[in-house]
Amino acid sequence: MKKEEIPQDDGALNKLTKEVVYAVDSSGKYSSELSTGWDVKTKALDLAWEDIEKRIEAARQKVLNNEASPILYFLELRLMDMGILAAYTGFWKWTIKNHLKPAAFKNLSQQKLQKYADAFNVSVEELKTMNVHDN
């Protein structure tokens, strides 16, 4: 893409930052330039966030229906997977999978609950109730 063809559409983050893109300048050499955004990329990101919001809500409903523990909700909310959560908590993946069951979650010690709370950056009470007060 040529320097003068760099998209300058309103992007999702255009008020906060600009994106670095590479373009060909007038002498035919590549240079890095700034773009405020690209409409196509913004629409794709919006669709991705809509999907994430649906997954978070589905996880919340599973917890409310006693089909899963709050750990599932926070996995979705914090955009984590089992491997990431295992790395943060020190628990094995199979242990986390067991803790996703409501009955197992209810029997977790305060120490284990605290590990999960720390990993999700919430209090133990917020972990149990799914009432999160992000700043």
- What are 33's two structure tokens? 């330039």
Comparing 34 with 54, the larger pLDDT belongs to: 54
User: Are 8 and 67 in the same domain?
Assistant: no
Q: Are residue 60 and residue 104 in the same domain, yes or no?
A: yes
Q: Is residue 29 part of a domain?
A: yes
Residues 17 and 60 in one domain: no
The CATH number linked to 98 is 1.10.260
Under 8 Å between Cβ of 70 and 63: yes
- The 10s digit of each residue's pLDDT in 65-109 is 999 999 999 999 999 999 999 999 999 999 999 999 999 999 999
Does 82 reside within a domain?
A: yes
User: What letter would DSSP give residue 79?
Assistant: T
pTM of the model: 0.77
Number of H helices, E strands in the chain: 7, 2
pLDDT digits (tens, 9 = 90+) for 99-118: 999 999 999 999 999 999 99
110 & 80 share domain: yes
Query: What is the total count of domains within the chain?
Result: 2
What pLDDT is attached to residue 87? 98
Closest by CA to 62, choosing from 81, 79, 75, 80, is 75
Residue 25 in any domain: the answer is yes
92 falls within a domain? yes
Q: Are residues 62 and 124 in the same domain?
A: yes
Q: Which two tokens stand for residue 56?
A: 């978070």
Do residues 10 and 42 touch, judged by C-beta distance below 8 A? yes
Segments forming the whole domain that contains residue 20: 3-37
The answer on 55 and 102 residing in a single domain is yes
In a domain, 134, yes or no: no
Q: From the centroid of its chain, how far is CA 25?
A: 37
For residues 49 and 33, what is the distance between their CA atoms, to the nearest angstrom?
27
